[in-house]
Amino acid sequence: MSTEKYFEAVGRRKTATARVRITPVSKASFLINESDLETYFKTAELRAVAVDAFEKTKIAQKFKVTVKVSGGGINGQAEAIRHGISRALLVYDIELRKKLKKLMFLRRDPRAKERMKFGLKKARKSPQWSKR
């Protein structure tokens, strides 16, 4: 059990949930479900989305980031991590609120897949209609 002071927050997107802990340290590191950023997110775009909050706020302090993420797809997980990091940065320094809010990183994206209704093929698609 470590006695390091950390800041924790939860980020969500669609059905993905990310529990993020940031710890101020001298050398930055990023762990997602016990694997590093490059092995978890294969593409540069997803890695960029995940660390966007640090990049755009231009925060000088380096952080050790540990994330437990579950549910959803890989894209939703990256955005959930960004949401969680943004919330954790607020706990660390409330002065960042204005900048993060302007970037819309604090807003939880509520869009999710609509449930399927009975009598229909998908959420809204109906079966083919035939007059005779």
Decide which of 3.30.230.10, 3.40.50.970, 3.30.70.60, 3.30.428.10 is the CATH code for 7-102: 3.30.230.10
**Tokens 């390091």 correspond to what residue?**
4
Say yes or no to pLDDT of 110 above 70: yes
pLDDT at 1 over 60: no
Q: Within the chain, what is the greatest distance between any pair of CA atoms?
A: 75
Q: What is the pLDDT of residue 73?
A: 94
pLDDT tens per residue, range 93-106:
899 899 999 999 99
Nearby residues of 17 by Cβ (< 8 Å), 6 or more positions away? 10, 11, 69, 70, 71, 72, 80
Bridge partners, residue 118, by sequence? none
Predicted structure pTM score: 0.88
Q: What are phi and psi of 62, to 5 degrees?
A: -95, 150
